[in-house]
Amino acid sequence: MPSPDRGVRLSYLRHFINSHGGESSFAGKTTAQVCFEFVVPMTKPTELSLVDHVANDPTTADYVSPANWYVSHAWQYLFLETVDSLERFFADRGLADDAVIWFCVFNNNQHLASSYPFEYWSTTFKNGLAAIGNVVMIMHPWNDPIVLRRSWCVFEVYVAVTMGARFEIALARDQEATENSEATVPSDRDGIFGLIRAETSFIAVDRLIFSTLSSWIKTALEASIASTPTPVAKAARWLQLGIIYQNEVDHAEGERCFRRAVALFAEYRGPFDYDTLQTQATLAYAIAYQRKPRREWEPLSLSTIRDATEHLGATHNVTLHARSSYALALSWNNDDVAALAVHMDLYDIWRHQYGIRDWHTAGTMNKIGMCHFKLGALRVAARWLQKSLPVLEAHFGVDHSETTQTTSYLAGAFTYSGQQLKALPLQQRLVETSERILGADNPDTIVHKMNAAILHIMAGQTRDAAAQLLPLERSLASRATQSQQLADQLRDGTVY
C-alpha cells in the first residue's frame, strides 16, 4: 500500500480564508473562482501546488500532513458552503482536530494541471485514494446535487466503492444517470466513459452509485431522527424514510416508518391534521401492497377518506390522495372493478381542476389503463396509457416509478394485443432502467426481464430469450420470497 499524499489540516481552510481578507472576500465565489483568484496568484512565486507551497513555508508547514480524507466536490459549488459542509461533517464525528484533507484545488499543481492527460489524473487518483482510504462527497443541493452530474465525481464514487474505501456524504447547513453526467474538461468525460466501458458498464456504475447513496441516505436519515428537535419533525423524517423504502418497493420497511410517522403526527398534530391523514393513507397502501388480509388495510383506508372528506373537503389533495391510494390497493389486491370506479371519479375531478395535459390527470389516466389491462380490455388500456405516458415522461422523467409503471403496462397491452414490435423497445428500456436503479436481483427487475424474454420468444428470438431466462432460473432458485411474489403475479393472469 503506497503512503498517502500530503494534504492540509482542516483548520487550514479557515487560515486560508482569514489570510485573504476573511469571508467577505469569498462571498458568492465558487471553488473555481477561488482557485484562479486566490490559489494561482498565491502559488505563482513557486509554481507549486498549494499544499507543497504551504509545506515549504516554515510559518505554515505544520498545516501539512499525510492526507486521511479525500474530498469529492464540484467546482461550481460556493467555496464557503463547501468549507462549512466539511467543518460540520468532521465536527459532528469528533474528527475536526485529526482531519487532513486531499482537496484537488489545493493538492493539484494549478500551474501545470492543463498539461497532463486524463490517463495521468485517473492513475494518480486511484493510487492516491488507495492510500487515503476515506472519501467524503459534498452534496449541494441535497435534493438535486450538482456533484452527481459531474463525470469526475461519479468516477470518484465508483473508484472509492470498488476499492473498498469508506464513503461518506457531507451536506450544507441549509439544506441521476452516469451517462448524462458532465465534465468540466470534455477530454476528461471521454476518458472517464472509456474507462467505464473498459472496466464495467454504465448500468453497473449507476447501480453502484444508486445503491451506495441510497444506503447512506437511509442510514443517515434514521440515525438523525433521535436528535431531531421536535416530535413533528421526527414524524416528517419517518415519513420521508418510508417514502424512500416505498420507492425501492420495500413496503414492509415502509410500513414500519409510516406507522411511526402516523403515531407522532396524530399525537402532536391531531387525528384530522393534513399530515396525519396523508401519511395514514400511505400507510394503508403499504399494508395492502404486501397483500396482507383486506381487513388490515381497508378499514384504515375508508376511515381516512371519510375523515379527510369531512375535515378537509372532498376535493382537497389529501382526500384525493387517500382515494387514489385506496383504488391502488384495491387493484393490487385484484378488485379492479371497484378500483376502476374510484379512478374514473378521480379522473373527472383532476381533469376539471387541471386539464388533460397535467400530471395529476395523467397519473390517474395511467391507473385507468392498468385496470382495463387487468380486466382484459387491452386496446382500451393501450389508449389510456398512450395518452398518459408523454405527460408523465415530461413531468417526472423516464426513470421515475410513475413513468416506468405506465411503460410496463403499455408494453403488456401491446404484447397481448399482437403488437409485439411496439412492445419490445419499451420492455428493453424497462430492463435497463430497473437494473440500474433497483438492481439486477430486485423483483421488479426480474419481472421486466421475464417480460422481455416472453417478447423475444414471440418474435422467434429464442437465443435472446434463453440469455434472459437462464440467469433468472439460477437466481430465483435461492430466493423463495421473490419467487413467491413472481408466482403471485403469474397467478393473477399476467406477469405485467
Contact 319, 305 (CB under 8 A): yes
- pLDDT score of 224: 81
Of 376, 406, 386, 377, whose CA–CA distance to 494 is shortest? 376
CA–CA distance, 16 with 19 (Å, rounded to integer): 5
CA–CA distance, 23 with 15 (Å, rounded to integer): 11
- Block residue for cell numbers 487532513: 100
DSSP H helices, 108-169, are 118-132, 151-162
CA–CA distance, 377 with 336 (Å, rounded to integer): 12
- pLDDT score of 176: 35
Contact 303, 310 (CB under 8 A): no
Of 148, 158, 150, 161, whose CA–CA distance to 198 is shortest? 158
CA–CA distance, 372 with 366 (Å, rounded to integer): 10
Grid coordinates representing 85 are: 459542509
Question: CA torsion 202→206→208→214, rounded to 10°?
Answer: 180
pLDDT digit of tens for each residue in the chain (496 aa)?
A: 344 589 999 999 999 999 999 999 999 999 999 999 999 999 999 999 999 999 999 999 999 999 999 888 878 888 999 999 899 889 988 999 999 999 989 988 888 766 555 565 556 667 777 788 898 888 765 445 554 555 555 666 666 666 677 778 776 655 433 344 444 434 444 443 454 444 444 455 566 666 766 777 788 788 888 888 899 999 999 999 999 899 888 999 999 999 999 999 999 999 999 999 999 999 999 999 999 999 999 999 999 999 999 999 999 999 999 999 999 999 999 999 999 999 999 999 999 999 999 999 999 999 999 999 999 999 999 999 999 999 999 999 988 889 999 999 999 999 989 898 899 999 999 988 887 777 777 778 888 888 888 888 888 888 888 887 887 777 676 565 555 555 555 555 444 5
Residue 7's region, left for phi above 0, alpha for psi from -120 to 50, else beta, is: beta
How far are the Cα atoms of 27, 52, 82, 439 from residue 18, in angstroms, in the given order? 13, 20, 16, 47
Of 268, 283, 279, whose CA–CA distance to 229 is shortest? 268
pTM given for the model? 0.65
Contact 181, 150 (CB under 8 A): yes
- pLDDT score of 115: 55
CA–CA distance, 488 with 422 (Å, rounded to integer): 27
- pLDDT score of 333: 96
- pLDDT score of 445: 83
Q: Which long-range contacts (CB under 8 A, 24 or more apart) does 252-256 make?
A: 252/290, 254/286, 255/283, 255/286, 255/287, 255/290
- pLDDT score of 137: 81
CA–CA distance, 418 with 424 (Å, rounded to integer): 12
CA–CA distance, 241 with 253 (Å, rounded to integer): 9
- pLDDT score of 118: 52
3-state secondary structure of 111: coil
